[in-house]
């Protein structure tokens, strides 16, 4: 039916009707401005719209809004990936917080190329290029929703685990590398590294065990920024005494 209408359309009546007009029974497309067809480009009269004139002073988008009886509004403008990322990024703090959709773990999610991706990985690639194969992106700020490029770095899975903050889920002590030993009624310090478990002794207080475990991680690990930060702060405080 539509093909027959197009084939029989009289070219003297102007351009053939588009699917929008046909679906609504408007089988005659409004006349284009003759000056624009002659080469004198006329644009839409809607404030801020520079699209080519279509009919009655408007581009095709604003003309359709008017024809449907809708209020005239700015048309959707296709944004670049950088512009879309900026639209959902709050830069008011030290971290650039993703304000769009987040997953259950708190990581931002961005829609790129028809697929959902972690926003911080997209932000890293926009700033530095492709992520090396097999590498993860670590937040040096420990804020999962952060997309600030200089708070991100490529790491291995082992290095990413090293920079974890706090104890593992289910820990009764609530302190990383410290466990309660019911038999001895003491706190045990231990560190796992490259498939090996280092048992560092048992201590009367949880603070002693925590300090020993942290010191061992600093010795063995390379990306445990949180542990090293604690050491730096304590050294500075000691120097002020």
Boundaries of domain holding 98: 81-155
- 18, 34, 67: which is the final residue of a domain? 67
- 18, 45, 67: which is the final residue of a domain? 67
Q: Are 107 and 137 in contact (CB under 8 A)?
A: no
Whether this model's pTM surpasses 0.95: no
In angstroms, the CA 119 to CA 137 distance is 11
In angstroms, the CA 95 to CA 149 distance is 10
45 and 99 in a single domain? The answer is no
H helix runs in 8-118, sequence order: 19-23, 34-37, 60-67, 81-87
In a domain, 75, yes or no: no
**pLDDT tens-digit profile, the chain (241 residues):** 434 433 443 443 444 445 445 454 444 444 444 444 445 588 999 998 888 999 999 999 999 999 999 888 888 777 889 989 998 999 999 999 999 999 999 999 999 988 999 999 999 999 999 999 999 999 999 999 999 999 999 999 999 988 887 777 677 788 988 999 999 999 999 998 888 899 999 999 999 999 999 999 999 888 888 888 865 444 443 444 4
């Amino acid at each position: 039916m539509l093909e027959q209408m197009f084939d029989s359309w009289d070219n003297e009546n102007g351009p053939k009707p588009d699917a929008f007009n046909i679906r609504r029974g408007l089988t005659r497309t409004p006349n284009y401005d003759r000056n624009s067809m002659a080469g004198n480009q006329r644009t839409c009269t809607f404030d801020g719209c520079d699209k080519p004139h279509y009919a009655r002073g408007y581009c095709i988008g604003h003309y359709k809004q008017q024809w449907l009886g809708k209020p005239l509004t700015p048309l959707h403008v296709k944004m670049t990936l950088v512009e879309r990322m900026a639209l959902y990024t709050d830069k008011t703090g030290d971290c650039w917080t993703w304000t769009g959709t987040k997953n259950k773990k708190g990581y931002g999610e961005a829609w790129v190329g028809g697929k959902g991706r972690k926003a911080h990985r997209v932000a890293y690639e926009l700033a530095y290029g492709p992520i090396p194969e097999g590498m993860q992106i670590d937040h040096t700020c420990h804020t999962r929703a952060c997309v600030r490029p200089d708070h991100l770095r490529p790491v291995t899975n082992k290095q990413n685990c090293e920079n974890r903050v706090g104890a593992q889920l289910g820990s009764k002590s609530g302190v990383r590398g410290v466990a309660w030993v019911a038999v001895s009624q003491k706190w045990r310090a231990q560190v796992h590294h490259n498939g090996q478990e280092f048992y560092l002794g048992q201590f009367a207080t949880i603070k002693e065990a925590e300090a020993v475990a942290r010191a061992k991680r600093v010795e063995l690990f390379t990306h445990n920024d949180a542990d090293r930060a604690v050491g730096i702060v304590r050294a500075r405080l000691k120097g002020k005494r």
